[in-house]
Every structure is written in C-alpha cells, then in structure tokens.
Amino acid sequence: MSLFGIIASIIDGVLVGSVYGLAAMGLTLIWGVMDVVNLTHGSMIVAGMFALYLLTSVLGITPYATLLPVLVGGFLVGLALYWIAVHRMIGRAPLMSLLSTFSVNLVLIGLGTAVWGTVLFNVPVSFPGVTWQRYTFPGTHLLAAALTAVIAACLYVFLYRTRLGKAIRAVAGNRQAAELMGIPTTRVLALAFALGVALAGVSGMLIATLFPFTLLSGDAYQLKSFVVIVLGGLGNPTGALLGGIALGLLEGLVTPFIPVSWTLVIEFALFVTVLIAFPRGVFALRRS
C-alpha cells in the first residue's frame, strides 16, 4: 500500500466519520440537555435508513430530496417518543430513562423485523466522484460529508444565534433557573429531544446512501455514536462532530492494514482508553 493509498483511505474515513459525528450530535444533544441516554438512537438511525429506502423505491423520490422529509419526520417521531418514553422519567434516576428508551427500542426493532425481516437492503445512489492520483473518492461519500457539514453548521447557528437555541442551552445549564427566567422548560426538553432524534434519522438516511443495511444495523452505529460522544465530551455537539471525524480518521488509517472484523475491537479499546484517560472527552472544548 502506497503512501497515497493510506492518505486516500484516511480522507475517505474522515468523510464517512463526519456522518457518524452527525449521528452522535443527536445523542449528545439529548444527553447534554436532559441527562437522558437515548437508547432509541439506534432504531432512529435505522428508521432514517428505511425512510430513504421507502421514499426512493416506493414513492420514487430522488435520494437526496428525502433529507428534508426525514428531518421533519424524525422531529415529529422524536416529539412522540419524548412524551411516550422520556417525559415522565425526567428528573428521576438515569436508569429509568435508560430502561424506558431501551424497551421502546426493542419494540420498534421487533415491529420492523416482523414487517421487513433482517434481509440486506441497498439503495442505489449514484453521484460523480472525485479522482485523485489513482484513487477515486465516491461522490456519495463527498456529498454525505458536505451535507453533514451544512446540517452541523445549521445546528450551531440554531444553538448559538437564536432565542430558542439560547433557551435550549439555558435548560442544559440549569433547568430550574431557566424555568424561573421564563423559559417553558418542558417544551424545550421535548424540542431538544425531537431535534436529537431528527439528527439520528438524517444521519441514518445519509449512512444508507453509503452502505447497505439491515433492520439490525442500528446497534453498530449506536455503539459508534457512544465512542464518538465519549471522544467529544458528553453533552457537547461540536465535540461530537470532531469525535466523529477522529473516529473516521482512525478507521481510514487502520482499514488498509487490519481485517474489518477488528475495527470494533480497536474502537472499543479506544473507547475504554478515552474513558479512563480523558473522562471529559478529547475534544471537550466547550460544553454547551
């Protein structure tokens, strides 16, 4: 493997990793605002994947035009999930919301497998790639990374430059103080949760433009999200994006040398190392 080959592999890893970062932003936003570990995250990623499949194959929409419906749909599903599984667990032991979201996740995955089974789906997406030396970066990877960058930038602007974003950050900082300053905190929690789910859905949709998937793919991506948010510092969306890029970089670096089956082993060795050595995250620049 030439040096160019390794560099190309790393660049491709970073492109894909940014999408993992997007998924993790959803998970970490929810954690940061309401101290809830959303274990429906994996099934919401899968829901995004299936939304892409259904909207393109059944309704004939072009793949990238599904982005907006997936965002909106994810948001609405997120609102529903908040009221069903999370609202009553706010302020109680973290284990409660962990268990309730875990159960909802099982129900959703169970329903999905009953309908679609666990066969492999593949959504054909073609987009012209870019060739560099002897290597071609797939257009889907480039576009997924570009869309991720746009969505992440929008999220940043929303959180730091709008009134509602201010309210979300205030609730993340201290819910009681925020409520006493006139912020309807219950609605803000529901909004933040829905936003986190929408991000999971969109990242799933983007991942499905890159790789084939099954109904059970969510677990693996949910695990990646955990690695990423630990790298990025819990509750920190900006850190999550950087964490995703770092994870992608690592995957790009090791794939030329190591069988794919080892990737998870390496990632989780990293996970444990980071937890022990950098409990606040490697990219914990600023907690929102």
Partner 1 sequence: MTAILEVQEVGKSFGGVRAVDRLSFVIEEREILGLIGPNGAGKSTLFNLINGVFRPDAGRVRFCGADITGASPHRVARLGLARTHQIVQPLEAMTVLENCAVGACFGRENLPRARAQEAAREAAVFVGLEDRLDTPAAQLTIAGKKRLELARALAAQPLLLLLDEVLAGLNPTEVERMIGVIRRLRERGITILIIEHLMQAIMSLSDRIVVLNYGKRLAEGTPASVANDPQVIEAYLGDPALARELAGKTRA
Size of the site for partner 1 (CB under 8 A): 23
Q: Judged by CB under 8 A, does residue 103 bind partner 1?
A: no
**Per-residue burial over 242-257, b = 16 or more CB atoms within 10 Å of its CB, e = otherwise:** bbbbbbbbbbbbbbee
For residue 239, the tally of other CB atoms under 10 A from its CB is 31
Q: Judged by CB under 8 A, does residue 87 bind partner 1?
A: no
Distance, CA of 183 to CA of 181 (rounded, Å): 6
Min CB(176)–partner 1 separation in Å: 7
Instruction: Kindly give the residue spans of alpha helices, DSSP state H, lying in the chain.
Output: 3-34, 41-57, 67-81, 94-116, 139-161, 163-173, 175-180, 185-210, 218-232, 237-254, 263-277
Question: Among residues 67 and 178, whose Cβ is nearest to partner 1?
Answer: 178
Query: What would the x/- binding string for partner 1 be over residues 139 to 168, using CB under 8 A?
Result: ----------------------xxx--xx-
Question: Among residues 134 and 163, whose Cβ is nearest to partner 1?
Answer: 163
Residue among 200, 60, 178, 194 at smallest CA distance from 123: 60
For residue 132, the tally of other CB atoms under 10 A from its CB is 12
Question: Among residues 134 and 286, whose Cβ is nearest to partner 1?
Answer: 286
Min CB(179)–partner 1 separation in Å: 5
Query: What would the x/- binding string for partner 1 be over residues 173 to 212, using CB under 8 A?
Result: xx-xxxxxxxxxx---------------------------
State the residues that interact with partner 1 by CB under 8 A.
Answer: 161-163, 166-167, 169-170, 172-174, 176-185, 286-288
